[in-house]
């Protein structure tokens, strides 16, 4: 299976029907695509810049636990997960938009504990968020709407997840809860997806100067099952650590998630009729977060 690559620079300059149709087809058939020619640093072309974000994981565990995500209902902060039942082994830091009041506030170490870390996170957050805004425009056009439709209707609230997997690390099969994940992959590999209509796991390697996008549950609901929230997992079987940086471009917490008018009669997946029921995104989001074990 060939995961398509979208040229973001070409989209910005032309917004051609060919690019928009390519995105729509990828979202329907695979649920994922690569993006190239963006302003984002990637592990392949700017490893040192991204390590400024990930050096948090090198700290002693007692320092990392100062911002434990266990102390707030939205899991903002640090977590180490080792759960045999769910087949999970990884550690992560979950960070939201500093200007949002929808969820629990971010937790930060003192500046002297990790100099420059907060600034590096905030700088990269803005870069990823601007890329997410462009992709929202592309998605709006792919859905037959004006380019600012998704941003103006659902008022995007991004979050970032920093990840580290030890050798043997795993993340169990799951789908994401929001609209769109921007996934910066390191060269170690280990990410796998299950395309629509398939029971086979497909490896998703890092490609030079690209990142991966994949669709989440809320956007699948908005399209009434026409677009596909792709199941994915991680199996890190090589030596050393595997790193990842993901931005989730989610709807605003108070958004009502239900099929758009022109997708209400879509019967693409009759087994997913329950997904047409309206749901407040914050409730939907928190139910999924509460399934986490750590």
Q: Is-contact 159 96, C-beta < 8 A?
A: yes
Alpha carbon distance 69, 289 (integer Å): 11
Cα(230)–Cα(32) distance, integer angstroms: 7
The separation between CA 6 and the C-alpha centre of its own chain, rounded to angstroms, equals 17
Are 65 and 228 a contacting pair, CB within 8 Å?
no
Could you list the pLDDT tens digit for every one of the 294 residues in the chain? 789 999 988 888 887 888 999 999 999 999 999 998 877 777 766 777 788 889 999 999 999 999 999 888 888 999 998 876 677 889 999 999 988 888 889 999 999 999 999 999 999 999 899 999 999 999 999 999 999 999 999 999 999 999 999 999 999 999 999 999 999 998 899 999 999 989 999 999 998 888 999 999 999 999 999 999 999 999 999 999 999 999 999 999 999 999 988 776 655 555 455 456 789 999 988 887 777 654
Per-residue pLDDT, 265: 60
Question: Measured between alpha carbons, how far is 133 from 150 in angstroms, rounded to an integer?
Answer: 9
- What is the count of structural domains for the chain? 1
Helix (H, G, I), strand (E, B) or coil at 265: coil
CATH number where 13 lies: 2.60.120.330
- Beta strand segments in 216-269, E: 232-235, 242-250, 256-257
Domain with 136 in it: 5-292
Tell me the HSE value of 200 on the side-chain side, using a 13 A CA sphere: 4
To which residue do tokens 């939907």 refer? Answer: 284
pLDDT score, position 274: 47
What is the reported pLDDT for 169? 92
DSSP structure class, residue 168: T
User: Under a CB-based contact definition with an 8 Å cutoff, are residues 63 and 277 in contact?
Assistant: no
State the pLDDT at residue 273.
53
């Amino acid at each position: 299976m060939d995961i398509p690559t979208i040229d973001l620079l070409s989209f910005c300059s032309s917004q051609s029907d060919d690019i928009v149709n390519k995105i729509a087809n990828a979202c329907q058939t695979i649920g994922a695509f690569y993006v190239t020619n963006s302003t984002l640093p990637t592990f392949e072309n700017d490893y040192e810049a991204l390590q400024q974000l990930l050096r948090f994981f090198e700290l002693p565990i007692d320092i990392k636990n100062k911002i434990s995500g266990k102390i707030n209902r939205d899991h903002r902060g640090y977590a180490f997960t080792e759960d045999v039942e769910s087949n999970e082994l990884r550690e992560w830091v979950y960070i939201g938009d500093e200007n949002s009041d929808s969820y629990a506030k971010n937790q930060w170490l003192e500046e002297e504990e990790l100099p420059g870390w907060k600034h590096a996170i905030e700088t990269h957050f803005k870069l990823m968020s601007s890329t997410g805004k462009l992709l929202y425009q592309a998605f709006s056009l792919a859905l037959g709407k004006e380019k600012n439709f998704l941003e103006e209707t659902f008022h995007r609230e991004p979050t970032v997840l920093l990840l580290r997997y030890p050798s043997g690390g795993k993340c169990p099969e799951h789908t994401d809860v929001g609209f769109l994940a921007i996934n910066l992959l390191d060269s170690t590999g280990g990410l796998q997806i299950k395309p629509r209509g398939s029971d086979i796991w497909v490896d998703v390697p890092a490609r030079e100067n690209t990142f991966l996008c994949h669709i989440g549950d809320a956007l699948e609901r908005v399209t009434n099952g026409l677009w596909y929230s792709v199941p994915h997992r991680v199996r890190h079987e090589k030596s050393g650590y595997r790193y990842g940086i993901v931005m989730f471009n989610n709807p605003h917490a108070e958004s009502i998630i239900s099929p758009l008018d022109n997708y209400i009669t879509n019967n693409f997946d009759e087994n997913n009729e329950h997904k047409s029921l309206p749901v407040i995104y914050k409730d939907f989001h928190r139910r999924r977060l509460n399934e986490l074990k750590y």
